[in-house]
Chains A and B, each alone.
Chain A
Amino acid sequence: SQTIHQWPATLVQPVGSPLSLECTVEGTSNPNLYWYRQAAGRGLQLLFYSVGIGQISSEVPQNLSASRPQDRQFILSSKKLLLSDSGFYLCALGGKGRYGYTFGSGTRLTVV
């Protein structure tokens, strides 16, 4: 069965520090992968999605970037965090032709 791993679960980082969040999947190949952000009490904001290695589409301009160095690995990064980057970050897995998503457990990022 397909599984998705996301870490860390919580992270407190100072303003101006770098960020790297990792998401890995198992039990599938060539999946679509997505990064979402959720502000407190708000909806799901799509940040990036990837349909294959090295293929990244950005949905909103921001202080973040994404990379997909391997088929089952999706990384969210920032060179310098802003206070506004705080939020709950979710990675999701969707197979081509498989409409539903499987979400990771999320990372709570607090920028101080």
Chain B
Amino acid sequence: GENVEQHPSTLSVQEGDSAVIKCTYSDSASNYFPWYKQELGKGPQLIIDIRSNVGEKKDQRIAVTLNKTAKHFSLHITETQPEDSAVYFCAAINNAGNMLTFGGGTRLMVKP
């Protein structure tokens, strides 16, 4: 089955700096890669996703890149703000799957 590894487990940045979270996956058939943001005491919320037919997707200050050959994808947050502080999860799934495989999560702390 699929295995998704996520790094780092914790990340502390200064407000205004950029943050990068990286994930690797094992199943070359995976073709959809979402990212979720979970604020304290709440359920995870989808913030951006990418399909395997594109290499990069951007939405304002967040972007995701995908390298199918190396089987890794990354979340990039620019101009970080205190409200970006949360736990971020990456995930992967393929056409035949009923379940997303999640990474272990990254706790991002943005210091004002």
Contact = CB atoms under 8 A, between A and B. Distances in A.
Contact of B102 (A6, A44, A100, A106): A44
A49 interface: yes
A94 B20 CA distance: 27
Interface size range on A against B: 20 to 34
A44 B102 CA distance: 7
Contacts, number: 51
A42 B102 CA distance: 12
Interface size range on B against A: 20 to 34
Interface string B25-68: 00000001010100001111110010000000000000000000
A107 B17 CA distance: 34
Interface of B: 32, 34, 36, 41-46, 49, 89, 93, 98-100, 102-105, 107
Interface of A: 6, 32, 34, 41-44, 46, 49, 51, 90, 94, 96, 99-106, 108
